[in-house]
C-alpha cells in the first residue's frame, strides 16, 4: 500500500481518512464527486481528483494517472436516506462496487469498501452479534452492504482481488456532519448539548446500539489494509466494536461535564424501526485475533473530546459549563 485513492473524500469518513493516511506518509489522492466541495485542508494537503464511482472510464484514468495501488471506497448512501432513494443506494452500493472490483481485477488493486451493522436484521442474534451469523437486513442500505460483502469475497475467491472490509457501527465525529444515518443522533446530541444544553432524541430510551469514535474507525480501516493477508480468514467483513450505548447513556456522560443537560424524546418511527433491527453489541473477537484490532476510546473519553472540540468550533462555548 503506497499510492492511495480515497473515493468519497468529502464525506464523513473520507474527509478524516485522507489526512490520516497522508500523516502516515502515504501518497493519497482525495477524490470527490464534485457535488460536495473538498475542504481546503484536503485540497491543499495533496493531490485531488473528481471521481464518480459509476464512471468506470474516469475512475480508470485516475488510477492510471496516479499509479494507484489501493482504493478506499467511502462512497455510500446511508440507511435513512437510502429508504427515500433506494435505486440510488443500489447504484452506488452494488453497481459501483462491481465496477470497482472489475477495475481492481484488471489493475491488481487492493480495495477497502466498508460494510456496516446495517447488514444485520431482526433474525440476527443481537447481544452480542457474532462474526458469522444471519444477514437479512430490512433496509436497502443493508441489502447493498450484504451484496458488497459477497461480491468482494467472490472477486477474492475467483480472481484473487485483495478486497477487505469492516462492519462499522455508528460513527461519531465533530469534523464533518453525518450524512443521513440511523445513528446520527449520537453526533447531533453533542452539538445540541453545547449549543442549547438540551436534546430531543429521535430514538427511544433504552435503544442500545454499537458505536465508535472516528479516530478508532480510521485506525480500523488502515490497520486492516496494512495487515498481513496470511493471517486473515475473514476478509469481508470483520465485526469491529468499541462501545455500545443508548441515548440516556450519552446524556449521563455529557452531564459529567454539563450537569444541567436535558434529554427528551421525540421518537422517529422510521429510525426507531431500523435501530430495533440492528445489534445491541458486536462480538469482534475475530478481528482481534486475525489482525490485532483494539479500540482506544470508550464513551467518556469520546465525550470529553467531542465537547471540547465542538465548543472550540462554536467560538469558545465551554463543554464544562452547566448551561449552554
pLDDT tens profile 6-53: 999 999 899 999 999 999 999 999 999 888 889 888 999 999 999 999
**Residue 183 pLDDT exceeds 90:** no
Residue 189 has a pLDDT of: 96
- The sign of the dihedral angle between the CA atoms of 86, 117, 155, 147 is negative
Label residue 93 by pLDDT band (50, 70, 90): very high
Residues, the chain? 324
Mean per-residue pLDDT over the chain, rounded: 93
Residue 181 has a pLDDT of: 79
Mean pLDDT, rounded, for 161-185: 89
CA distance 283 to 164: 18
CA dihedral 228→230→236→239, nearest 10 degrees, is -70
- The sign of the dihedral angle between the CA atoms of 270, 272, 273, 279 is positive
Whether this prediction's pTM lies above 0.85 is answered by yes
pLDDT tens profile 111-121: 999 999 999 99
- DSSP assignment of 255-286: HTT-TT-EEEE---HHHHHHHHTS-SSB--HH
List helix spans (H) across the chain: 14-23, 40-44, 56-65, 79-84, 86-90, 96-107, 140-159, 185-196, 214-226, 247-255, 269-276, 285-291, 299-313
Residue 324 has a pLDDT of: 27
Residue with cell 498481513: 228
Q: Report, as residue numbers or ranges, the catalytic residues.
A: 141
Residue 179 has a pLDDT of: 67
Mean pLDDT, rounded, for 182-186: 90
% of the chain residues with pLDDT over 70: 96
**Residue 319 pLDDT exceeds 80:** no
Residue 34 has a pLDDT of: 80
Label residue 288 by pLDDT band (50, 70, 90): very high
| Sheet order of strands, 115-116 included | 115-116, 166-168, 238-239
168-182, 189-203, 228-242, 258-272: segment of lowest average pLDDT = 168-182
Which domains does the chain carry?
A: 3-169+213-239 (3.40.50.720), 171-211+243-280+296-313 (3.90.25.10)
Label residue 322 by pLDDT band (50, 70, 90): very low
What are the backbone dihedrals phi and psi of residue 4, each rounded to the nearest 5 degrees, phi first? -120, 140
CA distance 314 to 261: 17
% of the chain residues with pLDDT over 90: 87
Amino acid at each position: 500500500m503506497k499510492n492511495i485513492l480515497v473515493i468519497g473524500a468529502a464525506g464523513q469518513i473520507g474527509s478524516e481518512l485522507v489526512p490520516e493516511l497522508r500523516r502516515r506518509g502515504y501518497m493519497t489522492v482525495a477524490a470527490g464527486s464534485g457535488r460536495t466541495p473538498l475542504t481546503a485542508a484536503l485540497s491543499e494537503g495533496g493531490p485531488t481528483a473528481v471521481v464518480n464511482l459509476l464512471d468506470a472510464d474516469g475512475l480508470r484514468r485516475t488510477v492510471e494517472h496516479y499509479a494507484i495501488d489501493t482504493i478506499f471506497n467511502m462512497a455510500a448512501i446511508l440507511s435513512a436516506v437510502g429508504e427515500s432513494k433506494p435505486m440510488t443506494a443500489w447504484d452506488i452500493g452494488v453497481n459501483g462496487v462491481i465496477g470497482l472490483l472489475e477495475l481492481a481485477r484488471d489493475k491488481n488493486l487492493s480495495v477497502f469498501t466498508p460494510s456496516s451493522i446495517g447488514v444485520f436484521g431482526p433474525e440476527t442474534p443481537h447481544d452480542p452479534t457474532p462474526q458469522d451469523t444471519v444477514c437479512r437486513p430490512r433496509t436497502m442500505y443493508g441489502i447493498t452492504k450484504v451484496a458488497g460483502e459477497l461480491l468482494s469475497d467472490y472477486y477474492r475467491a475467483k480472481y484473487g482481488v485483495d478486497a477487505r472490509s469492516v462492519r462499522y457501527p455508528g460513527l461519531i465525529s465533530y469534523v464533518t456532519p453525518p450524512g443521513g444515518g440511523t445513528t446520527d443522533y449520537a453526533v447531533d446530541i453533542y452539538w445540541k448539548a453545547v449549543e442549547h444544553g438540551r436534546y430531543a432524541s429521535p430514538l427511544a430510551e433504552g435503544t442500545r446500539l454499537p458505536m465508535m469514535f472516528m479516530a478508532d474507525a480510521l485506525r480500523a480501516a488502515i490497520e486492516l489494509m496494512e495487515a498481513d493477508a496470511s493471517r486473515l480468514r475473514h476478509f469481508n467483513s470483520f465485526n469491529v466494536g468499541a462501545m455500545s450505548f443508548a441515548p440516556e447513556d450519552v446524556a449521563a456522560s455529557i452531564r459529567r461535564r454539563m450537569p444541567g443537560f436535558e434529554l427528551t424524546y421525540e421518537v422517529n418511527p422510521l429510525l426507531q424501526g431500523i435501530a430495533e433491527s440492528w445489534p445491541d453489541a458486536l462480538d469482534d473477537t475475530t478481528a482481534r485475533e486475525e489482525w490485532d484490532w483494539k479500540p482506544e476510546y470508550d464513551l467518556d473519553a469520546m465525550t470529553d473530546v467531542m465537547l471540547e472540540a465542538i465548543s472550540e468550533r462554536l467560538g469558545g462555548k465551554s463543554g464544562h459549563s452547566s448551561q449552554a
